[in-house]
Amino acid sequence: MIIYIEKQAREYKQTKNILEKFKNSQVIYIDNYKNLFDKSYKNIDSKKALIVAKLNSSTITEAPVWYGHTKNAYFFKTSLNCIFDCSYCFLKWAFKNENMVVFVNYDDIKNEIKNKIKIPLSQPFPPGEKGAGYKDDIWFYSSDYSDILWMDNLSNFNAEFIPFFEQFENTKMEIRTKSSNIKSLINLWFVPKNTEIAFSLNPQVLIDKYEKWTSSLDSRIEAINELNSLWFKVWIRFLPLLPVNDYEAIYSDFISYIKERIDFCNIDSTFASGLLYTKNDYNKILSKYPDLDILHMLDLANDWFYRESKKVRNTFYKMFKELDNSCMLC
């Protein structure tokens, strides 16, 4: 394994932790991670590298209003790229190569998040009212640039950021994942009140075809049930729903399967959504993967988004509303 380390990142605690875990790796010191990460490579060996860097730009990006629970929501990044190989993922065309980046200046990232939390975002409680703060939760989504739960073996993210978010009122963090790597969550030795673990689920036949190297459906279900037994807040995300041939039968069998194995009374929330691309993003992924069948099953809607047909969406949404009447729909 090759590890590239920015010279400005070499003295950080997380850098030393990574080097301790991978003692036999080849280490190369570089001036700027973008000199590697912003280049396209034809040599497949270059895709196997890990880059350790300091994040000098902003960690926070505002989330779309339709993305989750509240309009007060943000993405934040501590790493880039994913070990998993999901055919439909925006990361496959968002970045020029498959090198993984871990940013190690956690204190800087935490300070930027803390400053964002301090900005008044909604109507405050009346003076003296219990729980003084802001009525609307502010949400931070941590897993849109990589699978944070899988990446935790490298990044030590959970031990650093879950306790950090516990100090704030009306502030929540979501960790969305296709991994069953929950050991570091259990090793926290406390149950966080401000962090939600959101597992993305799909039928195993579609995981095998479109979500390569992710954890199996059964191992994700096992992780869900174990965290539930320990009183963690667990979400289930049915996304992206894929309009494959015979999708009604595939997803009907899938729903029957998970109903027998998951107690949905213990799930904090569910959410269902199909594929959704802007016209520009759709053209990017289509040019890179012209033979990807699910891309050719989408339609361009009046709002210039590519998605499943309205008939397919309505069929999906009816199925998942019957599974959980409180299921949120995109």
What pLDDT was estimated at residue 41?
65
Which residue would you say has higher pLDDT here, 40 or 94?
Answer: 94
Instruction: Note the pLDDT of residue 65.
Output: 75
**Which of the pair, 288 or 249, is modelled with greater confidence?**
249
Range 277-282 average pLDDT = 94
What average pLDDT score do residues 37-59 get?
79
Does the pLDDT value for residue 182 go beyond 80?
yes
Looking at every residue in the chain, the average pLDDT score rounds to 90
**Tens of pLDDT, residues 7-24:** 999 999 999 999 999 999
Cα 4 from Cα 314, distance rounded (Å)? 47
Residue 127 binned pLDDT confidence (cut-offs 50, 70, 90): very low
What is the band of 204 on the pLDDT scale with cuts at 50, 70, 90?
very high
Report, as an integer, the average pLDDT of 202-213.
97
Query: Which band of pLDDT confidence, cut at 50, 70 and 90, is reported for residue 39?
Result: confident
